[in-house]
Structures are given as C-alpha cells and as structure tokens.
Amino acid sequence: MRVTLSLLSPKRSNLSTPPIFTATTNSDGRVTAWQSTQEGGTVTTSELDHLVNTLKSDLKSDEQMNWSLVFATEEFYGKGKTFWPEVELKFCTSKDEKHYHVPLLLGPWSYTTYRGS
C-alpha cells in the first residue's frame, strides 16, 4: 500500500518545502524504505533519522513536531471495495522520543490505530 509521510509543523524557515516522503508497505505491511519527494531518491532509515534529529534539535523543550501518515486504501483495495478511500493518521512527536511506531490495523470497512512501542 502506498503511504505518504509529511511534516505538518513546526514550519522551518530553512526548508523551502516541508519534508514529504512516500513508500510502499511490504508483505508484512511495514515500510522499510522511504522515497524523498524533494530529492527523488531513496532515503534510508538512518538518513530519515538524521533529518528528524536535525529538526528536533531546533525544537524548544515544550514544542512538538506534528506529522501526517496517509495510507492510499482505495488504491490498495480497489474502487468501491472499501469504505475508506484513504486513511490519514496525524500524530505528534516530542524532542525526547527516540523511536516511532505508528501501526494501522486495516480492513476494507474498518481501521484502528494506536501508539506502538
């Protein structure tokens, strides 16, 4: 399934456009590599971690980063075969968090999510 990851806030003046990444989940439903829409190339997990750490270093202690994950569910299931044409999960991360696991449990007619470990 196609997935898009976008930074919603905070906006940074040193970034001409907010970071946006795309990926396709594997057979286990996990993303193992992201494509940068700005750079056009594959972004390794360590490169994405570096970018996030750079963004986090600019945060004040009480600030958060707001992200969006969009799952292309209708593209995956087929038109008319799902109630959800796409599922968007918005979540916040703090400066001190080190790892993010945002699972989406999905069926054609329902979904649930939670803050993973």
Q: For 21-30, how does the pLDDT look when each residue is reduced to its tens digit (9 = 90+)?
A: 899 999 999 9
For residue range 44-62, list pLDDT tens digits in order: 667 777 888 888 888 888 8
102 vs 20, 30, 38, 67, 117, CA distance in Å?
17, 10, 23, 11, 9
Fold category of 2-113 in CATH: Immunoglobulin-like (2.60.40)
- The full set of domain ranges for the chain reads 2-113
The burial class, CB within 10 Å (0-12 / 13-18 / 19+), for 101 is exposed
- Between 16 and 68, name the one with better pLDDT: 68
pLDDT digits (tens, 9 = 90+) for 66-94: 999 999 999 999 999 999 999 999 999 88
Q: What confidence tier does 14 reach under pLDDT thresholds 50, 70, 90?
A: low
Extract long-range pairs of 57-65: CB within 8 Å, 24+ residues apart.
Answer: 58/12, 59/10, 59/94, 59/95, 61/95, 63/10, 63/95, 64/92, 64/93, 64/94, 64/95, 65/7, 65/9, 65/10, 65/92, 65/93, 65/94
pTM reported for the whole predicted model: 0.85
